[in-house]
Amino acid sequence: MRIIINADDFGMTRSINQAVVELAQIGSLTSTTAMVNMPYWKQVEMLLPFDDFGIGLHFNLTEGKPVCDSSLVPSLVDADGNFHAFSEFRSRCKKNKINKDEILTELKAQFELLYNFIGARLTHIDSHQGVHKYRPVSDVLIDFGSLYKNLGLRSPRHYFITNKNVVVRPTASQFSQFSFKRIFVEYYYNTYQKSLSKKFRMPAGELLDISLQKTKTFERLIDIRPTSNITIEIPCHPATSTNDLPPSKLTDKRVREYQILMSSDFIGALNKYQLINFSNL
**pLDDT digit string (tens) for the chain, length 281 residues:** 899 999 999 999 999 999 999 999 999 999 999 999 999 999 999 999 999 999 999 999 999 999 999 999 999 999 999 999 999 999 999 999 999 999 999 999 999 999 999 999 999 999 999 999 888 999 999 999 998 888 999 999 999 988 888 888 887 777 667 888 888 888 888 998 999 999 999 999 999 988 888 788 888 888 787 776 899 999 999 999 888 777 665 667 899 999 999 999 999 999 989 999 999 99
Q: Residue 6: phi, psi to the nearest 5?
A: -115, 130
Count up the domains in the chain and report the number.
1
SS3 state of residue 208: strand
Give 14's contacts (C-beta < 8 A, 6+ positions apart).
40, 43, 244
Domain that holds residue 74: 2-280
**pTM for this prediction:** 0.93
What digits encode the pLDDT tens for the residues 204-223?
Answer: 999 998 888 878 888 888 87
Q: 162: Cβ–Cβ under 8 A, 6 or more apart, which residues? A: 168, 177, 210
Cite the DSSP H helix spans in 36-161. Answer: 86-94, 100-118, 137-147
Whole-angstrom distance, CA of residue 266 vs CA of residue 183: 30
Q: What is the CATH number of the domain that holds 15?
A: 3.20.20.370
Q: How far apart are CA 56 and CA 31, in angstroms?
A: 8
Check the CA dihedral 76-107-200-203 and report its sign.
negative
